A = this chain, B = another copy of it.
Amino acid sequence: MQIESLDRLINAFSHPPSVGKKTAERYAYFLLTMNEADVKDFADSMVTAKENIHYCKVCANFTDKEVCSICSKPNKEPIICVVKEPKDVMAMEKVRDYAGTYHVLHGVINPLEGKGPNDINIKSLLSRISAEGIKEVIVATNPDVEGEATAIYIANLLKPLGVKVTRIAQGVAMGSELEYTDAVTLSKAISSRREM
């Protein structure tokens, strides 16, 4: 058909990873069925969000203030939960009984992609320990090779400071079935078993 502005729109919608040509086409066609005011509002919400949102200067999570709402909460526990990405904070915040703060690495150590400890947000974590009187650091990176390596690196770095470093538990997921659980996970679940 060759409509230049449509091709450009489809191309723009293909930016996010996991969005293929087909899905981008669906989004573009859907957008054309929306009324003009809604499309302008959609476009404006993108520009506004990008302009207003930046990293919290304490934990590096997304925020529209200088310090994010979690870091500026009063009476927070002296615990930091270290995560890979801002969306992990959102996931963790659904857990109601955590009252500490976060530290967003914006990546993990990944030698294959040439990413070392200096390429992720680790340095500022060190200064937070004493500045905020932190008692415990929970490393909540993903339970994959890079996440594990990053967790070990952080543990070795922080232990000399006398802070307790813990790792989120790995085992069978709640509601899952043993039959369909992979062997590595089962093995972790057995070695980390606890008395009832």
**Residues on A facing B (Cβ under 8 Å):** 1-6, 8-9, 11-12, 15-19, 25-32, 34, 36, 38-53, 61-64, 68-70, 85-87, 89-90, 93
Residues of B within 8 A of A63 (CB): 1, 3
**Contact partner, A49, options B6, B44, B70, Cβ 8 Å:** B6
| Copies of this chain in its oligomeric complex | 2
**Contact partner, A1, options B26, B40, B61, Cβ 8 Å:** B61
Question: With A17-B30, A30-B17 in contact, is A45–B1 under 8 Å at CB?
Answer: no
Closest 10 CB pairs of A and B: A43-B43, A9-B49, A39-B50, A16-B30, A5-B49, A12-B45, A12-B42, A43-B46, A5-B52, A8-B45
